[in-house]
């Protein structure tokens, strides 16, 4: 197959090895004469997958036994509801940072369960920067932020010191850069960017934060404690996305871990931003200091050259470069699995339009 240079924002490119190994598992899993898709999730072969998928996350994030790792069905959007349901005290309030469409989605859901104070927002400036001047005190049950704004191409370069629990939606930059993950009490991420196929969401929770809301008769499927007590098998888990996520994380671990991925991601982003900054035909939507290493959202400054550019990148075998429908323009997603050679192809096309 002649593979395209896949800049899609998600679902998106994954390591080739993941496709090959998961195709084999679909045909004959572990040589047991059965497909991964036709065995019980309680069989020893799948339980081993789940155990390792949970363990590898802690290894990569350098987290100890005070954290639990869950793989939950449905998307990151489900966490917009589960986070307040599990962490907001009855009659309590939470602080949210509004940095884009997904952050706003999380805010909308949390407001249905309690009081939300938006402590910082860049909405009025079309989410072109990350707000920085705010404080979060102990009157809040937790603080929620979005580490990377997939649509607008902004990324939090540092995280605030807060006097409450720290919750982060890392859907679009999980495992892309080194962070002190122990700073966070709860991290969640839909798998379909740096981890695997859509259909599963990673949730990493510090155990001691649960069970403090005063909420009674919690709905079991929305209760993190239930999922923890059943080791992420409260109900039938999405076996294929979990297996493919494990393969992706093993690939990451075998290729230098997060530290090496971060270096590769920095080099890719530098290559593209350097071209945008030196080529008057292109500009980013956001301020320089908050530019994302994962999603480069940019525009063309001369509309009369748009058709030529569009034809050229398509002819070069590039796919998935159109911007999100709410922002327009272009978006080059540089997730872990995208090779720098693909970025070079895009940069060469951009140079050719000058």
From the annotation, which residues make up the binding site for pyridoxal 5'-phosphate?
76-77, 102, 150, 169, 192, 235-236
Write down the least CB distance from residue 286 to ligand PLP, Å.
Answer: 15
Write down the least CB distance from residue 330 to ligand PLP, Å.
Answer: 17
Write down the least CB distance from residue 326 to ligand PLP, Å.
Answer: 12
Write down the least CB distance from residue 44 to ligand PLP, Å.
Answer: 30
**Residue 351, φ and ψ in degrees, nearest 5:** -65, -35
**Which residues make up each annotated binding site?**
42, 76-77, 102, 150, 169, 192, 235-236
What is the C-alpha to C-alpha distance for residues 13 and 195, in angstroms, rounded to an integer? 10
Place of tokens 């709410």: 326
Instruction: Considering the complex, state which of residue 200 and residue 258 has its C-beta at the smaller distance from ligand PLP.
Output: 200
Closest CA to 191 of 182, 183, 200: 200
Catalytic residues: 102, 169, 193
For residues 256-295, one letter each, b for 16 or more C-beta atoms within 10 angstroms of the residue's C-beta and e for the rest, the string is ebbeebbebbeebbeebbebbeeeebbebbbeeebbbbbb
3-state SS of 228-260?
A: HHCCCCCCCCCHHHHHHHHHHHHHHHHCCHHHH
Instruction: Considering the complex, state which of residue 147 and residue 213 has its C-beta at the smaller distance from ligand PLP.
Output: 147
Q: How many CA atoms lie within 13 A of 208 on its CB side?
A: 6
Using Cβ positions, the residue closest to ligand PLP within the complex turns out to be: 75
Chain residues in the site for ligand PLP (CB under 6 A): 10, 75-77, 102, 146, 150, 169, 171-172, 190
Instruction: Considering the complex, state which of residue 172 and residue 232 has its C-beta at the smaller distance from ligand PLP.
Output: 172
What is the C-alpha to C-alpha distance for residues 263 and 269, in angstroms, rounded to an integer? 10
Instruction: Considering the complex, state which of residue 29 and residue 330 has its C-beta at the smaller distance from ligand PLP.
Output: 330
Write down the least CB distance from residue 28 to ligand PLP, Å.
Answer: 30
- Three-class SS of residue 201? strand
Cis amide linkage into residue 11, ω under 30° from 0 = yes
- Three-class SS of residue 142? strand
What is the C-alpha to C-alpha distance for residues 350 and 160, in angstroms, rounded to an integer? 37
Instruction: Considering the complex, state which of residue 114 and residue 190 has its C-beta at the smaller distance from ligand PLP.
Output: 190
- The residues facing 318 across adjacent strands are 5
Instruction: Considering the complex, state which of residue 70 and residue 350 has its C-beta at the smaller distance from ligand PLP.
Output: 70
Structure tokens at 108: 């909308």
Place of tokens 């809040």: 140
Write down the least CB distance from residue 224 to ligand PLP, Å.
Answer: 17
What is the DSSP-derived secondary structure letter of residue 153?
T
3-state SS of 31-63?
A: HCCCCHHHCCCCCHHHHHHHHHHHHHHHHHHCC
**Which residues make up each annotated binding site for L-glutamate?**
42
């Amino acid at each position: 197959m002649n593979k395209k240079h896949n800049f899609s924002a998600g679902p998106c490119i994954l390591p080739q090895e993941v496709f090959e190994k998961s195709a084999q598992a679909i045909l004959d899993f572990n040589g047991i004469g059965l497909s991964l898709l036709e065995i019980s999730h309680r069989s020893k072969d799948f339980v081993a997958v789940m155990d390792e998928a949970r363990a590898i996350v802690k290894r990569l994030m350098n987290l100890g036994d005070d954290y639990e790792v869950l793989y939950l069905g449905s998307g990151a959007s489900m966490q917009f509801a589960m986070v307040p349901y599990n962490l907001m005290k009855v009659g309590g309030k939470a602080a949210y940072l509004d940095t884009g469409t997904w952050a706003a989605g999380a805010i909308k859901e949390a407001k249905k369960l309690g009081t939300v104070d938006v402590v910082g927002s860049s909405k009025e400036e079309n989410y072109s920067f990350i707000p920085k001047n705010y404080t979060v005190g102990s009157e809040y049950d937790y603080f929620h932020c979005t580490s990377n704004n997939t649509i607008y191409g902004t990324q939090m370069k540092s995280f605030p010191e807060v006097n409450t629990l720290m919750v982060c939606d890392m859907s679009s930059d999980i495992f892309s850069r080194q962070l002190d993950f122990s700073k966070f009490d709860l991290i969640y991420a839909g798998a379909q960017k740096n981890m695997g196929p859509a259909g599963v969401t990673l949730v990493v929770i510090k155990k001691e934060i649960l069970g403090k809301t005063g909420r009674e008769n919690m709905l079991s499927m929305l209760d993190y404690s239930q999922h923890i007590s059943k080791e992420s098998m409260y109900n039938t888990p999405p076996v294929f996305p979990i297996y493919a996520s494990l393969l992706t994380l093993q690939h990451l671990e075998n290729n230098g871990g997060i530290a090496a991925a971060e270096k590769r991601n920095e080099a890719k982003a530098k290559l593209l931003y350097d071209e945008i900054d030196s080529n008057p035909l292109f500009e980013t939507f956001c301020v320089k200091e908050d530019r994302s290493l994962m999603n480069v959202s940019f525009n063309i400054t001369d509309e009369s050259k748009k058709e030529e550019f569009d034809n050229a990148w398509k002819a070069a075998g590039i796919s998935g470069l159109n911007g999100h429908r709410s922002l327009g323009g272009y978006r080059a997603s540089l997730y872990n699995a995208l090779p720098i050679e693909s970025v070079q192809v895009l940069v060469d096309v951009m140079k050719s339009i000058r």
